[in-house]
Amino acid sequence: MLSTPLGYKLIASDLTAAIKRTADQPIVKRETEYYLATIPTIKTVDDFIKNDRVFKYAMKAFGLEDMDYAKAFMRKVLAEGIDDSKSFANKLSDRKYYEFAETFNFARYEGAATIFERARQGTVDRYLRQSLEIDAGQTNEGVRLALYFQRKAASVETPFHLMADRALLKVTQIALGIPEAAGTMDIDRQADLISKKLDVADLKEPEKLEKFLQRFTALWEIDNPSTPPLAGVTQLFESYDANISYDLLSQMQRVRKV
């Protein structure tokens, strides 16, 4: 089995080729062809949710596959849309729900929601990248974490954005040598601790980002010599709003708005 640094480097050095290999997998190819052929026929929220193959494909594309059973929950996300600041998607701390409702914006565009590129090839592109990361995690969760961080880094504006995403926070803690127990601290103190060790603006610079991820993968390998996936790490990618406590949700809302 490849080490974490080498496994990450082999994929990250030629992402285009890696994604093409993923797209060419028979199951992925079949599901993608079905999705592209069918999504133009989807005109309502009910059409979308009732077509299990299309709905599950879209949910996986947005990293929400663990919630594809929660159809009543997702119907509310889609039906209320994003235009009202009090809508369900706007209240949830996990940004993926907002992005999902924005892409499949039946609330605003009704039957025309699926004519946009973001609902078609844009969703396919997301699905392929998600599938690539999940496949990588089957043999090494450290590689999956690094690829995920690489993908999300450009959207990070403050330490709070790192703290609001459990997978991003895990990478940050390991790379910066911050104990996991620090996660129990007041969120402002956590943000201050991260700021002292990392200028988040550096994450937008490819060379600095790669150095950061090289450090993470090296440290991950020390603590987790290349072995099968750790169940606890896989849970970092699961959505949590459906089971989150009210108090924690309130705290995370502060994180999202910073």
| pLDDT bucket at 1, cuts 50 / 70 / 90 | confident
Radius of gyration of the chain (CA): 19
Percent of the chain with pLDDT over 70: 88
245 has a pLDDT exceeding 70? no
| Contact partners, residue 50, CB within 8 Å, separation at least 6 | none
Domains belonging to the chain, first-starting first, are 15-122 (1.10.3700.10), 141-257 (1.10.3700.10)
The residue among 9, 33, 21 whose CA lies nearest residue 213 is: 9
Query: Which tens digit of pLDDT belongs to each residue from 193-207?
Result: 999 999 999 999 999
The residue to which tokens 């020390």 are assigned? 222
Q: How high is the pLDDT of residue 71?
A: 97
Q: How far apart are CA 154 and CA 166, in angstroms?
A: 17
Query: Which tens digit of pLDDT belongs to each residue from 218-231?
Result: 999 999 987 555 55
The 3-state DSSP class for residue 116 equals coil
Q: How far apart are CA 105 and CA 100, in angstroms?
A: 8
Contact 68, 56 (CB under 8 A): yes
| Contact partners, residue 225, CB within 8 Å, separation at least 6 | none
The helix or strand, by DSSP H or E, that contains position 187, with its residue range, turns out to be helix 187-197
The residue among 175, 225, 164, 219 whose CA lies nearest residue 197 is: 175
| Contact partners, residue 117, CB within 8 Å, separation at least 6 | none
Q: How high is the pLDDT of residue 233?
A: 60
* 205 to 90, 165, 209: CA distances (angstroms): 30, 20, 6
104 has a pLDDT exceeding 80? yes
* 64 to 20, 100, 144: CA distances (angstroms): 22, 9, 16
Q: How high is the pLDDT of residue 254?
A: 47
Q: How high is the pLDDT of residue 93?
A: 86
Q: How high is the pLDDT of residue 214?
A: 97
**Residue with the larger pLDDT of the pair 48 and 229:** 48
Q: Tell me how crowded residue 126 is: count the other CB atoms within 10 A of its CB.
A: 19
Per-residue tokens: 230? 């750790």
Q: How far apart are CA 59 and CA 50, in angstroms?
A: 13
Query: Which tens digit of pLDDT belongs to each residue from 149-197?
Result: 999 999 999 999 999 899 999 999 999 999 999 988 999 999 999 999 9
Average pLDDT over residues 14-41: 98
Residues 138, 93, 240, 199, CA torsion sign: positive
The 3-state DSSP class for residue 251 equals helix
68 has a pLDDT exceeding 90? yes
Contact 159, 200 (CB under 8 A): yes
What's the whole-number average pLDDT of the chain? 91
Neighbour-count burial for 92-118, b at 16+ CB within 10 Å, e otherwise: bbbbbbbbbbebbbbbeeeeebbeeeb
